[in-house]
């Protein structure tokens, strides 16, 4: 065993959900309400991809990202956000959103920097940020119905002299909040006034229920101060293809492109072609719309289940995303509550502590799996709270 570990590695901390995954696998017979990609990529994508292989056989690696895919991404952005982008200076094809964000943090942050994170938020950001050895400042949204409002004055007050980035997950994982146009405009002004960058993860930009989504790209004054990361995994049922894209200001496009080249982390040519086909495919667009209706049904089913369980469990109805962030009253840390749920009834839910300090005394249910799995999980949760809580 080698005796040395880097200080960057030593800065990492436990990923609570992954730790509980391991605990659940040892127990066996568990239902996972923590994430899934139940829908296969539509067969039309595979069929057209195969035809491209046979007829064109042009699948060498596009290190810059294929022009065809970039053009389709630009069309998608213009259609959904009414924004015209330059494919050569604003778009990066990425190895999914997560890998891109890790590289972006390494590009922007070091041990003398601070990143301001709006919480609760996606838990994987924390170790990505810790690996840069930057400090992390959290600003919590208010847990107040109907939509977890963000007081941007608190963001302004929390800035440090070494703050380089404001990090936002929008729509928000795990709360399902859609940030308002006003909130985004105010964050953009803060970024401009303080010469910092607003980084927005918009993985669920398409999955909204009762309120339209406003992209950070839809705020014109922000576009030279914002980086937006997106993935094909969710909307286009392409989990495992490892392909995404990012909008970046032209001023840093070339440097980020060369960083990608250094790590050789552009998505494979095959995945790029599949993504291009998905953006063009009527069958995929139809499936996306069908998935939205099913997601709404699943959300309402889980909400009804929590209402029936009672025991002081509360929530703010998610406006987006396949998550329900549930608050409980018992004086027990969320990690230990979730571990006890696994031990007693074999259901895996995510402890809110992983989503930041504001997430403690919550747990997160993901309703992305098939209804049979969700129904069994909710039934077992009912048993837990009636018998063991």
Same structural domain, 312 and 217: no
Same structural domain, 233 and 206: yes
Q: Please report, in angstroms and rounded to a whole number, the separation of the first and last CA atoms in the chain.
A: 43
- Report pLDDT for 119: 98
- Report pLDDT for 300: 97
Give the CATH number, domain containing residue 163: 3.40.640.10
Same structural domain, 185 and 244: yes
Same structural domain, 276 and 304: no
Of 299, 301, 305, 329, nearest to 317 by C-alpha is 299
Tokens found for residue 340: 């006890």
Give the CATH number, domain containing residue 377: 3.90.1150.10
- How many domains is the chain partitioned into structurally? 2
Residues of the chain with pLDDT under 50: none
Same structural domain, 108 and 244: yes
- Report pLDDT for 57: 66
Same structural domain, 259 and 372: no
Same structural domain, 73 and 191: yes
CA atoms within 13 A on the CB side of 175: 30
Same structural domain, 355 and 377: yes
Show the domain range for 308: 7-41+284-387
- Report pLDDT for 266: 81
Same structural domain, 154 and 292: no
């Amino acid at each position: 065993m080698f005796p040395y570990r880097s200080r960057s590695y030593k800065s990492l901390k436990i990923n609570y959900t992954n730790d509980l995954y391991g605990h659940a696998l040892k127990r066996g017979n568990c239902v996972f309400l923590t994430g899934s990609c139940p829908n296969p990529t539509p067969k039309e994508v595979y069929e057209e991809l195969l035809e491209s292989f046979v007829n064109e056989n042009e699948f060498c690696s596009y290190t810059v990202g294929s022009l065809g895919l970039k053009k389709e991404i630009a069309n998608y952005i213009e259609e959904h956000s009414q924004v015209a982008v330059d494919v050569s200076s604003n778009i990066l094809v990425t190895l999914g959103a997560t890998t891109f964000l890790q590289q972006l943090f390494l590009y922007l942050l070091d041990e003398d920097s601070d990143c301001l994170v709006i919480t609760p938020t996606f838990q994987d950001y924390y170790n990505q940020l810790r690996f840069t050895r930057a400090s992390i400042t959290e600003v919590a949204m208010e847990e107040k119905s109907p939509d977890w409002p963000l007081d941007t004055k608190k963001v302004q007050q929390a800035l440090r002299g070494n703050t380089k980035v404001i990090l936002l997950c929008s729509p928000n994982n795990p709360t399902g909040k859609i940030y308002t146009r006003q909130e985004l405009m105010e964050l953009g002004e803060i970024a401009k006034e303080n010469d910092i960058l607003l980084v927005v993860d918009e993985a669920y930009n398409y999955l909204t229920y009762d309120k339209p989504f406003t992209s950070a790209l839809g705020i014109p004054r922000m576009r030279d101060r914002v980086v937006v990361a997106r993935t094909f995994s969710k909307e286009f049922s392409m989990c495992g293809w490892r392909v995404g894209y990012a909008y970046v200001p032209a001023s840093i496009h070339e440097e980020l492109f060369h960083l990608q080249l250094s790590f050789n982390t552009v998505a494979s040519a095959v995945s790029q072609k599949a993504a291009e086909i998905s953006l063009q495919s009527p069958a995929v667009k139809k499936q996306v719309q069908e998935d939205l209706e099913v997601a709404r049904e699943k959300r309402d089913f889980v909400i009804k289940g929590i209402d029936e369980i009672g025991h002081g469990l509360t929530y703010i109805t998610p406006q987006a995303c396949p998550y329900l962030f549930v608050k409980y009253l018992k004086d027990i840390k969320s990690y230990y509550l979730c571990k006890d749920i696994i031990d007693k009834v074999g259901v895996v839910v995510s402890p809110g502590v992983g989503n930041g300090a504001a997430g403690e005394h919550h747990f997160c249910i993901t309703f992305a799996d098939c209804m049979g799995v969700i129904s069994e999980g909710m039934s077992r949760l009912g048993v837990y709270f009636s018998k063991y809580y």
